[in-house]
Amino acid sequence: MTDKYASRESGNILREVVFIVFYHKRLILKIAGGIFLLSLALAVLLPAQYLCRAKFSVTMSQQIDPLQKDVYTDSKNQYVRVLSGQKEIILSNRVLMRAATVLYPGKTEAQYQKIVAKLGKDIEVGPPKGETFEATSDFILSYDDSDPRMAYNMVKEVSQAYLEVFEEIAKQRTEYSYDFFKEQVESLYAIMRGKADLLKTYEGENALALVDILNLEGNKANAEAGAKTRLNAVQSKRQALREEYVGLERTITDLESSMADDQGPAILPDMEGSGKAITAYRYKVAQLRMQIQEMETQFTPQYEPLRRLKQELEANVGLLRNETGRYIEGKRIQAQSITSMIVELDAAIAELEESLRATAQQRSTYAFLNNDYELAKAAYAEASAKLEQARQANALSRPDLLVTLVDPAVEPMTPYKPNRIGLIVLGLFLGIAAGLAAAFTLDYFDHTLKTPEDIERWCDVPLLGSISQTGP
């Protein structure tokens, strides 16, 4: 039974929809009629609005004025920036106040401010329909009003005020650029002359030193004989003398330590040689010691020849010490001589270092003054060139932007809103849709039995017959 009713239900959906529509036809007609009448009243009673437009085109010319010359690599972003700037000019107080004083004469300052504020909200400035500022160089000034004449006058006066203000701004920029560079050139010339005088004075005071410096910089052969090379040579010589002095001091110390030894002073290799007394004394002392050692093994210390040999050994050791002392004294004199030479070299090094510092300071000062003068000279030359460009721009009065009124304002003959026929048709369709929605919603929440099929479906009992409705 359930499957039968389910198949019947799936096959009669359209019949039920039609039943719901006819069952609630009065409700649908009332809602649809009400909404239709409301839209009809709006279409009849809404006041007509007239739209007036003026179209402008912006062209970026080859700019002569150097103060206003901008370099752009992205023309699309450049036009966005330019057109946005023109929009700001149109909606500025300067433009709208001119139009307001013409269209609304005799108002107070406070009233004009209110009018300008309202115009700033009502006037629209934008690209043509369907485009953006990134894809066009045109823009449209539009204004709507219930009076077509007023809409026309407003667009015409605002357009005229905008073109006047644009010309004034372009002229002011050109004149300002010329005056700016004129003052800048005069200031830079004074600065350049001051730098030149400083450089000339310094060259006069340090002429000889600068000649040497410039020669050294331009001639490598002369540079090799310069103070830096001599300083390196003197420092190398001082280092060698210092090492020699340290070696002498160590030799003297070692010899003085060996002088107190019973065996006699030590003999260094450079103290020996043919014809030197120290070598003879050394051999003599060595020979006597060998003889004494041999005799000590055979004789007693009181043996007279042995005692004479010891006395002779002491005498020769004393002579050896005397010779070593004279050698040490000679080394001391040599060390003092080296010390004096080191002192002289220190003075020479200090003098050369001071000379190098002075030369470096002079070179640095000269380079700084010369570079400062060259920079001032380049700045003056650049400003002079821009002054000439500004003078030409001032003579030609040529702005960087050209604004052309492509389509001037024309008084509209027909309103652009409201769309009365569209409102009526929209109200009709909205009314029918709202009525149907209300009918289906009401039927969804209505759980009463309306047809014989509902009895069989929900009560699961056979239907024997039905009685038609006779009353209203």
Q: Which domain holds residue 142?
A: 51-181+398-407
What 3-state class would DSSP assign to 141? strand
Spatial CA neighbour of 19 closest among 446, 443, 458: 443
For residue 233, give both structure tokens.
Answer: 């040579």
Q: Which of 56-70, 137-151, 367-381, 429-443 has the lowest mean pLDDT?
A: 56-70
Same domain, 228 and 368: yes
Cα-based distances in Å from 278 to 174, 222, 249, 250: 104, 52, 20, 20
Same domain, 269 and 150: no
Specify if 413 maps to a domain: no
Helix residue ranges, H only, 91-147: 93-103, 109-122
When pLDDT is averaged across residues 388-412 and rounded to a whole number, the result is 73
pLDDT at position 418: 80
Specify if 196 maps to a domain: no
When pLDDT is averaged across residues 197-208 and rounded to a whole number, the result is 82
Same domain, 350 and 246: yes
Torsional sign, CA 43, 46, 47, 53 = negative
Same domain, 266 and 315: yes
Specify if 151 maps to a domain: yes
Same domain, 251 and 338: yes
Spatial CA neighbour of 162 closest among 135, 123, 136, 128: 123
Specify if 190 maps to a domain: no
Q: How far apart are CA 209 and CA 215, in angstroms?
A: 10
Phi, psi of 299 (to 5 degrees): -125, 165
Spatial CA neighbour of 138 closest among 86, 74, 61, 69: 86
Q: How far apart are CA 284 and CA 269, in angstroms?
A: 17
pLDDT surpassing 80 at residue 164: yes
Same domain, 329 and 267: yes
Q: Which of 396, 428, 448 is the last residue of a domain?
A: 396
Same domain, 283 and 343: yes
Same domain, 402 and 390: no
CA dihedral 151, 154, 155, 160 (to 10 degrees): 160
For residue 326, give both structure tokens.
Answer: 């004279």
Choose from 16-20, 340-344, 352-356 the range with maximum mean pLDDT: 340-344
pLDDT at position 144: 92
Specify if 61 maps to a domain: yes
Cis peptide before 418 (omega within 30 of 0): yes
Reported as a single tens digit per residue, the pLDDT across 239-264 is 988 888 888 888 878 777 777 665 56
CB within 8 Å of 66: residues ≥ 6 apart: 177, 181, 385, 386, 389, 390
Query: How many folded domains does the chain comprise?
Result: 3
Spatial CA neighbour of 121 closest among 99, 105, 101, 144: 144
Based on DSSP, count helices (H) and strands (E) in the chain, helices before strands: 14, 4
Same domain, 375 and 424: no
What 3-state class would DSSP assign to 417? strand
Same domain, 248 and 372: yes
Which helix or strand (DSSP H or E) is residue 50 part of? strand 50-60
pLDDT surpassing 90 at residue 160: yes
Under the banding of pLDDT at 50, 70 and 90, the label for residue 77 is confident
Same domain, 92 and 155: yes
Please give the distance of CA 327 from its chain centroid, rounded to a whole number: 77
When pLDDT is averaged across residues 196-209 and rounded to a whole number, the result is 82
Choose from 122-136, 217-231, 265-279 the range with maximum mean pLDDT: 122-136
For residue 42, give both structure tokens.
Answer: 């709006």
Same domain, 37 and 84: no
When pLDDT is averaged across residues 28-47 and rounded to a whole number, the result is 86
pLDDT surpassing 50 at residue 8: no
pLDDT at position 217: 56
